[in-house]
Amino acid sequence: MKLQRPTQTFLPFSILSIVYLLLLAFLPTNTATAESYHLSSPEYHILGLLLGIPRIIVWFAAFYGFWRLDQYTMAIRKTVDGRAFMHVSRGLRWLAWGLPLSGIVGNLTGGITHAHPGFDTAGVLITHFITLIISLVSFSFISTGSRELLDSTGKQMPMSGLRVFALGFIFIGVAYCYATVRGVIVQHGHPYHMPMWLILLTVVIPYLYAWLMGFLAAYDFSLYRKHSSGLLYKSALNKLAGGLGLIIITSVLLQYITSTLTYLRRITLDWRLVGVYIILLVYATGFILLARGANQLKMIEEV
């Protein structure tokens, strides 16, 4: 792994952002969505840009966050912690790149579907599998790194914590299964257009596995922070752990909401916008916290 220069990180970000904005501005209006919210074509595009610009700010925060963590990781690459942080950093890189990629692919497939309605199922599946693969890879890397960090302290997950963790995850998993299965049974034209067994096999199980990896990573990292020593080191690590926790939880929340989207149509547009902005704000806060923590840790290695 080589140290990335700022241009190597931020040039692709700028190109992806411009592509995304151009798609928002020039893709034909999705008449079904526009009609359901009583929007004219210009209003539809303005709304798209209004939602798109905060998204790009979040992407910038994500790229900045992983770039900062990369720099810290490079500073300690020869240590045991360095190798573990490298996995975390690699996972965050996947997560950061996944944001614009899934956004662009989602818009492109949406645009193609509008012109060729027969592409609907393929478009949904392409967007779904790209988001899913990014989620699986990124959370697996972060989880591997967090577990290595926890192992380096010689501590293990306590049984009481494991019980609460298992209960919480079962609750989330069952709620997700319920929402997905109900969506298929109740609603005609469920977006996946697949038999139930295939939905369970290719949507529910992989997502639950990815989220389990994500939550495990957040929990392991918080335990590593707890068992680490050093007043100043821990202060920086607190920010890093807080940021990582927020990123993982918000990321899972976003995927949860996106994959059970059919239910959200009941919510009014105003509330959907408020919800999206809050989630984006928390997501960006997570990456900024992570960047600040990584910056502080890097300072310790430089002075």
Partner 1 sequence: MAAVSLYKRVVRITHIYLGPAADRFIARQVESHLHKNPEKLNADDLSHLIDWIRVAVSLLTDDSEIVEEYIGQLRRLIEPLPGHDTKQARGNGN
Among residues 234, 257, 258, 275, which is the contact residue for partner 1, using CB under 8 A?
234
Task: Give the residue carrying structure tokens 């989330």.
Answer: 172
- The 57-76 contact track toward partner 1, x by CB under 8 A, reads -------------------x
Residue count, binding to partner 1 (CB under 8 A): 17
Q: Determine, following the binding rule CB under 8 A, whether residue 241 of this chain makes contact with partner 1.
A: no
Distance CA 289, CA 294 (A): 9
- The 201-230 contact track toward partner 1, x by CB under 8 A, reads ---------------------------xxx
Distance CA 131, CA 191 (A): 15
Torsion of CA 270, 272, 273, 277, to 10 degrees: 140
Strand, coil or helix: what is 165? helix
Instruction: Compute how many other C-beta atoms are within 10 angstroms of the C-beta atom of residue 186.
Output: 10
Nearer to partner 1, 20 or 72 (CB): 72
Nearer to partner 1, 83 or 234 (CB): 234
Among residues 31, 36, 79, 187, which is the contact residue for partner 1, using CB under 8 A?
79
Q: Determine, following the binding rule CB under 8 A, whether residue 233 of this chain makes contact with partner 1.
A: yes
Q: Determine, following the binding rule CB under 8 A, whether residue 155 of this chain makes contact with partner 1.
A: no
38: exposed, middle or buried (C-beta count within 10 Å: 0-12, 13-18, 19+)?
exposed
Among residues 117, 178, 235, 277, which is the contact residue for partner 1, using CB under 8 A?
235
Q: Give the interface segment with partner 1, choosing from 41-49, 111-119, 163-171, 292-300 (CB under 8 A).
A: 292-300
Distance CA 172, CA 253 (A): 10
Residue partners of 146: CB distance under 8 A and separation at least 6: 84, 88, 216, 217, 218, 220, 221, 224
Q: Determine, following the binding rule CB under 8 A, whether residue 8 of this chain makes contact with partner 1.
A: no
Biggest CA–CA distance in the chain, Å, is 62
Nearer to partner 1, 128 or 225 (CB): 225
Using CB under 8 A as the criterion, which residues of the chain lie in contact with partner 1 when the complex forms?
Answer: 76, 79, 81, 228-235, 296-297, 299-301, 303
